Structure 1
């Protein structure tokens, strides 16, 4: 563990109520069994993003090869914030980013209850300076897809260098009950569609919604999800970002079962003995977040098994008392069919070195360009068609020479 005391007193703004004698202490700890337990103890009374939950952090630490560290802020002898980060190489820079990379959405650091008002822009900046002193080899701190607040607590990283994320998030208000949800999205049309789907699925051998609660069920649903996702990405010409995620996902959902109220939930729709759709969700406060989903694109795709599973998941979320069903980041038609809330997340890009400042400018340009492309429906649709065409040509070429396509492609 390395302590880095910031000697210069920060000038605190109106958001901070702290005496002039307080010196922020940035603490940087490597991942060990002891620090994992310390982090679990610290988060026991806090609200945090799904990727900052100790189950996620523990599973990532045990199944990934990246370096992990904990960046903590201490004030008046107490730890008031802890942020787990992984150190990776990007474009020649050493970057400390939120654990999980592109798989982590709605990032939010655990904060000691009642202490958020102390975390002014100056205090957060002092913490980052402490990281720079402790780890001069790190060029940039990058925390993408952050939510602005959780349970009324503002995200302190919103006060430092940030830009709007490339993708918006979509969610559904459940606070008035499932009947109100149906009224908002068109009750008659939605129920007619659901009855039609039910008949088709019953005719295909019957259906059941599965919630994974045993290691065998977790292994089955994770394997089906990864297979379905690999096929989908290959069809779209997108690099398969889940290709090496089996150990992490299996560990995460198995570990979640140790709690009487699991934070991470895995559901599947079985039709005629075959898993046709899978969703993985997280629980953050009174919010149920769909972190990922997949479907089998076979003879039953016309019955929309994914949409059918969402219907059952949302209905069950209302029954359990959740106030929001969050479809996470990404603007897709199947999400729009349900959602009535748009959310803009943000990315923190905090350079610590000259090399980091150059990379930060490039990142801001790339994120801005993606955001503009995705905001233009015609341009985004054209790009997706071109990508599918490229994937099809690659598949044809592989078939003609006897080799197999690996499903990789350019990411978005």
Structure 2
């Protein structure tokens, strides 16, 4: 059988002469329950994965969104000679124009996509290991192409082994704030900006019952989400943006994830809020794993309180909240929104890979890569981006 074109033949052949891959077998499951035990074992904090690949997060997404979009679970599990799981790729399979594409579960709602890895295996993985994995998929998966978007090059203190495959920079950036242990608040958010936010916050503090909270009870979570799903469409319409939360099943998925607890406390999605006795002023929600908080969605009031930058005030409180808990990183999700740069001065390197698994897949991978590069060019060329945005406005 010919080797998948994704890995250089000379590299893999040289590796094969010196050692054998630890991957002894690859299994593909089409039902999440079949691999739940393995999955939960690999999402343990002692292993190597992001919170966006938790079983409960993606099970909620698949049952509420993926199934309605006719996406078939395509969960790849690789194991060693003693049947110990080495990695799990949480994918879904779709068919369009005769091409069967496997991509990460979670769609637009997962900021980062990764396999779940046995930590020791991830630290020592080689090109030969990836060759073995792709060879197995090439032989019997039924997929034509892997379209793997928004993968971090590193997570915590390890490189992502899938970065050994051919890749290109993702279209969108992900602004990142690094929080060194014991850093003073002013070192995380500049003193002058912090003072401006305090001045604005004093206006809000005049409102009866003004407070910041992290939602804990089911009743609090439901109340905040009810408000979010009323206000967010208004905010997105104001910005002339499509409302992704109105897509079939998305609201149910968000509600399920926000209600589901995780071991050690908290929910799959944590909700932070500013409110007073009369109204909810702003909410920001995201996933946390003990070391990093990653923003998923947010919105703020349509009332006069919006003039005091409640979103920025809430973000500052979130930064201080997680810094006090010893978190090391905080990101505000993909996208180049201006407010993110007030807090995040660097970017998380993320990449996309388009890996052919069949002859048809070679054509599809090349087309996907070309489209991706075009989007990147537009996104990172300001005059061109403005032209495209104007054209979209006219078409709307």
After TM superposition, the score normalised by the length of structure 2 is 0.86
Q: Which residues in structure 2 correspond to 1:383-402 (within 5 Å)?
A: 383-388=388-393, 390-391=395-396
- Could you give the per-residue CA deviations for residues 192-237 of structure 1, whole angstroms, max 9, x where no partner exists? x222322321344442223222222222223333333322332333
Q: Indicate if the aligned counterparts of 2:52 and 2:287 stay in contact, CA closer than 8 A.
A: no
Q: Distance in 1 between matches of 2:13 and 2:343?
A: 41
1:112-139 deviation digits (Å, cap 9, x = unpaired): 1211244322321321231233332x22
What SS does the aligned partner of 1:190 have? helix
Q: What is the aligned partner in structure 2 of residue 37 from structure 1?
A: 37
Indicate conservation of the 8 Å contact 1:50/1:283, yes or no: yes
**Equivalent residues of 1:15, 1:117 under 8 A apart:** no
Q: Find the counterpart in structure 2 of residue 303 from structure 1.
A: 308
Does residue 233 of structure 2 align to residue 230 of structure 1?
yes
> Equivalences for 1:3-402 in 2 at 5 Å?
12=12, 19-20=19-20, 24-44=24-44, 45-64=46-65, 65=67, 66-77=71-82, 78-90=84-96, 92-136=98-142, 138-175=143-180, 177=182, 179=184, 181-183=185-187, 185-191=189-195, 193-243=196-246, 244=248, 245-257=250-262, 259-260=264-265, 262-284=267-289, 286-388=291-393, 390-391=395-396
Query: 2: CA distance between counterparts of 1:230 and 1:150?
Result: 33
Secondary structure at the aligned position of 2:274 is classed as strand
Relative to structure 1, is the Cα distance of residues 132 and 282 closer, same or farther in structure 2, using a 3 angstrom cutoff?
same
RMSD: 2.8
- CA deviations 1:99-118 (Å, max 9, x no partner) are 11122122221111211244
1:370 positional shift: 1.7
C-alpha separation in 2, matches of 1:60 and 1:263? 12
SS of the residue 2:304 aligns to:
coil
* 1:321 CA drift (Å): 0.8
Distance 1:54 1:102 in 2: 17
Counterpart CA distance in 1 for 2:154 and 2:170 is 15
- 1:307 deviation in Å? 0.8
Q: CA 1:189 to 1:22, structure 2 compared with 1: closer, same or farther past 3 Å?
A: closer
1:32 Cα deviation from its structure 2 partner: 4.2
TM-score scaled by length of structure 1: 0.83
SS of the counterpart of 2:119? coil
Query: What is the distance in 1 between the residues matched to 2:21 and 2:122?
Result: 19
Give the superposition deviation at 1:250: 1.3
Secondary structure at the aligned position of 2:326 is classed as coil
- Structure 2: runs of 5 or more not aligned: none
Secondary structure of the residue aligned to 2:303 is coil
Secondary structure in structure 2 of the residue aligned to 1:279: strand
Unaligned regions of 5+ residues in structure 1, if any?
1-5, 392-412
Comparing 95-104 with 248-257, which one deviates more in the overlay?
Answer: 248-257
Asked if the contact 2:111/2:334 (under 8 Å) is kept, the reply is: yes
Matched position secondary structure for 2:383: helix
**Contact 1:169–1:342 under 8 Å retained in 2:** yes
Q: What secondary structure, in the 3-state scheme, does the structure 1 residue paired with 2:327 have? A: coil
CA gap of 1:311–1:17, structure 2 versus 1, over 3 A, is farther
